[in-house]
Homo-oligomer: A and B are copies of this chain.
Amino acid sequence: MDARKRRILGTLIDDYIVSAEPVGSRTLAKKYGLGISSATIRNEMADLEELGFLEQPHTSAGRVPSDRGYRYYVDELMQRPQVGSDTVNRVRMVLAAPVREIAWFIHQTAQLVSDMTAYPSVVVAPPVNDARLGDIRVMQLNSGTLLLVVATDSGLVENRAVPLPEDMSFEQVVWLAQEFAREFRGMPIKELKDRILDPLASDEERYHGLWESLLGWMSDWRTNDDRVTLAGSLNILKYPEFRDVGKVERVLGFLEREQAVEQLLYAALPQSEQVHVIIGQESPFDAIWDCSVVTATYQLRGHIVGQVSVIGPKRMQYAHVVTTLEMVSEELSRALKWA
């Protein structure tokens, strides 16, 4: 893999990323001043194909990058652009807004990223399981209905309306919730749920049915659903590789399966700082074998808690996406400093 081969491969991919058409030796020689003739390029391209970096849709078409070609491009060739300060400012403007619930930041980020990259974006919120119980508040929606609001120490919030038990007054419930919060504050939600499911715990029976309601509700807290926010999914319709409705259906259908998405992006977690790229068949899910996924992680209190991610055709603007995600995830971590 000498310098010239790298140069050719890089240029070819650059061109294919914007043109979406197989690239021929002529195009490469003419359009970009490589200083070598098309014949030489042809030879090199034949080599590159043998090495597995390029593919030919058919004999007399130009070359197209293979998964492996993209991989090499992403790992070695692509040149990351500088992120414009106006872009950074835009992100900061949005995320530096008055403090909000974490869920709000997640949504904004997804929206922002899909706007900035013109690909669909997926953002995974911090898991509830790892968080600890913060506080509980009760309010009365109307005569027969209560609203319970539970917060974790990490700023995640969940509301749930419940009927007011007939044999209890509102004040009793408030007191009960206080007791509950006092007893369990600081306990990891996961542990709390485990304990709830332990039959011994319910033996006590000391606090009426509502105590159980509270416990039952906690255990019902969807901790793994609902973590995934999708934005800009329609962006995918813009790319010619998805002119076929069947493909669109497969990809968007996949993105709606939250557990699958979460599992996919889980792969990005170990690589702490690095932005993680999944190209085509590197994915365990065949529904997105025509796609690439770029993922960055963000942090809350120094721990990685979630992912910001972009999905698009394999012919993706990797350089732009990678730098954008790096920047956004950093800004998101910063914006969550308060939490």
Interface check A151, CB cutoff 8 A: yes
Contact B145 A135 (CB under 8 A): no
Alpha-carbon distance A325/B155, docked complex (angstroms)? 38
**Range, interface on chain A:** 35 or more
Alpha-carbon distance A138/B136, docked complex (angstroms)? 10
Contact B147 A339 (CB under 8 A): no
Most chain B CB within a 10 A radius of its CB, from A147, A149, A237: A147
Alpha-carbon distance A98/B141, docked complex (angstroms)? 15
Contact A153 B161 (CB under 8 A): no
Given A101-B159, A338-B163, A135 and B140 contact (CB-CB distance below 8 Å): yes
Alpha-carbon distance A159/B136, docked complex (angstroms)? 14
Across the interface, which residues of B come within 8 angstroms of A245, CB to CB?
237, 242-245, 248
Alpha-carbon distance A223/B77, docked complex (angstroms)? 49
Contact B142 A339 (CB under 8 A): yes
In the complex, how many angstroms separate the beta carbon of A276 from the nearest chain B beta carbon?
27
Q: How would residues 166 to 178 of chain A score, 1 for a CB under 8 Å from any chain B CB and 0 otherwise?
A: 0000000000000
Residue of chain B at shortest CB distance from A98: B162
Interface check A81, CB cutoff 8 A: no
Across the interface, which residues of B come within 8 angstroms of A209, CB to CB?
none
Contact B234 A98 (CB under 8 A): no
**A38-95 contacts to B (CB < 8 Å):** none
Q: Out of B141, B157, B244, B249, which one reaches A151, CB within 8 Å?
A: B141
Could you name 15 residue pairs across A and B whose Cβ atoms are closer than 8 Å?
A101-B160, A134-B140, A134-B141, A137-B137, A141-B151, A141-B339, A142-B338, A145-B338, A149-B159, A157-B161, A237-B252, A243-B245, A245-B245, A245-B248, A248-B248
A101-B161, A139-B149, A163-B338 given; 20 more Cβ-contact pairs under 8 Å: A98-B162, A98-B163, A99-B161, A100-B160, A134-B140, A134-B142, A136-B139, A137-B149, A141-B157, A141-B339, A142-B155, A147-B151, A147-B157, A155-B161, A157-B161, A234-B253, A237-B245, A242-B245, A243-B245, A244-B245
